[in-house]
Amino acid sequence: MEILAYILISTGLIFFLGTTIGLLRFPDFYSRMHAAGKGDTLSTVLILLGCICIVSTQGGMNWLLGLKILLIINFIFIGSPTATHAMMDAGKKAGAEPWRKDSK
Amino acid sequence: MKYLYSFIVLFAPWLVLSGKFDPLHVGMGIVCSLLVAYWSADLLFPDREATLADRLRQLAGFIGYIGWLFWEIILANLHVFRVALSPRMNELLAPSLVEFDTKLEKELSKFILANSITLTPGTVTVRVNGNKFLIHALTKKAADGLPGAMETRIANIFEITR
Amino acid sequence: MLLVLIRAIKGPTVIDRLVAINVIGTKSIVLLLFAGILFGQLEMFVDIALGYGLLNYIVSIAASRYYQHRKCLEPVHAAQGRQPS
């Protein structure tokens, strides 16, 4: 169980590194949104699943903590794409230009 | 019947969040959940005609859909990872805005479709306006694959007319 | 997280900073859970993380709603310097 937890957490950290590099290297706001919206959700969900695995090995009343972490996962899973839409829409309405190949 | 549904929906998070099972706390939870369920049951379940079997079937279909979506999210992250780490990134990128019509009708299924599009490879929903979806695609290949198999899957789960 | 902070500081527009702040907020939930596991007091830290996740979501929605109505991406002093009104 602990090995599974470590595998999940390190996979999540690798995906988070990819998200960060994408956030730093992409040329415009819209494509940065791609990296943020996807990598953020997946890496957080993976790391929290690993936390559930660690918690459930400790015994006692810890299944309640596992359920609470599952509730956090639920909120992130619903909230993160919705926040991404809201920010994309704000950028579109505020007039951010999409990046083209010949614009640089 | 709808009062019973919303009572269950409200009371389960109470038990999880409080974490105490002595009679005082559970009793307070029952009273609060009953009051809120009596006042606001109309907000939670807008379609009255659906039967219990319908709802259970939707729930089972939705859990299967979550599993499929999780695999798609992993693919999407590998895609972003590959694009972000490639040294010739500017040749790989071809951003474009695509607009298409959907045939879904319920608000809930539109919401799920928009969130799923955001989480699948190379596409992000910019705006939902009535039946029109405005999509920003990261590469050329992703822009061609819209709307894809996702719409029919959601339609199979949520849009069955009774 | 520090690398995201770089984008938050030097981001060309306000929306870039907003995205970076959102990512940092989500990561701090994870950091809170790790702190709970390290200190052995996960009961307290899980509740804090739950509240923090909800607040982070509300912050993103509210800030993007504000910028939808403002229709300007530069910081305030630059925009005011260009066309005083």
pLDDT of residue B62 exceeding 50: yes
Note the pLDDT of residue A98: 59
- Is the residue at A68 inside a domain? yes
**Better-predicted residue by pLDDT, B158 or A102:** B158
Per-residue confidence band for C72, with pLDDT thresholds at 50, 70 and 90 = low
Per-residue confidence band for C81, with pLDDT thresholds at 50, 70 and 90 = very low
Domain with A27 in it = 2-90
Residues of A with CB under 8 A from a CB of B: 15, 18-19, 21-22, 25-28, 30-31, 33-35, 37-39, 41-43, 61, 64, 67-68, 71, 78, 81-82, 84-85, 88-89, 92, 98-101, 104
Q: What pLDDT, in 10s, does the model give residues B87-121?
A: 766 666 666 677 777 766 677 777 777 777 777 77
Q: ipTM of this model?
A: 0.75
Interchain contact, C33 vs A69, CB within 8 Å: yes
Q: What pLDDT, in 10s, does the model give residues B3-44?
A: 777 777 788 888 777 777 778 888 888 888 888 888 876 776
Which residues in chain A are closer than 8 Å to B128, comparing Cβ atoms?
85
Nearest chain A Cα distance for residue B138, angstroms: 7
Interchain contact, B84 vs A22, CB within 8 Å: yes
- Is the residue at A46 inside a domain? yes
Note the pLDDT of residue B65: 82
- For residue B87, count CB atoms less than 10 angstroms from its CB and return exposed for 0-12, middle for 13-18, buried for 19 or more: exposed
Beta carbons within 8 Å of C34's beta carbon, 6+ residues apart: A51
Q: B160: how many CB neighbours lie within 10 A of its CB?
A: 12
Which residues in chain A are closer than 8 Å to B19, comparing Cβ atoms?
61, 64
Interchain contact, C65 vs A86, CB within 8 Å: yes
Which residues, given as ranges, of chain A have pLDDT below 50? 103-104
B86/B93 Cα distance (integer angstroms):
11
Mean pLDDT along residues B83-87: 73
Per-residue confidence band for B143, with pLDDT thresholds at 50, 70 and 90 = low
- Is the residue at A103 inside a domain? no
CB B51 within 8 A of CB B32: no
Beta bridge partners of B132: B101, B129
pLDDT of residue B136 exceeding 60: yes
What is the residue-averaged pLDDT of chain B? 73
Which residues in chain B are closer than 8 Å to A61, comparing Cβ atoms?
19
- Order across the sheet with B96-101: list the strands: B96-101, B132-137, B123-129
pLDDT of residue C80 exceeding 60: no
Which residues in chain A are closer than 8 Å to B127, comparing Cβ atoms?
85, 88-89, 92
Mean pLDDT along residues C44-60: 86
Beta carbons within 8 Å of B10's beta carbon, 6+ residues apart: B32, B33, B36, B37
Give the residue among C14, C3, C8, C5 at the shortest CA–CA distance from C67.
Answer: C14
Note the pLDDT of residue B92: 63
Where does chain B show beta strands of DSSP type E? 96-101, 123-129, 132-137
C48/C43 Cα distance (integer angstroms):
9
**Better-predicted residue by pLDDT, A99 or B127:** B127
Instruction: Domain ranges for chain B, please list them.
Output: 2-44, 56-158
pLDDT > 70 fraction of chain B, expressed in percent and rounded? 66
- Is the residue at A7 inside a domain? yes
Note the pLDDT of residue C70: 64
Mean pLDDT along residues C28-47: 82
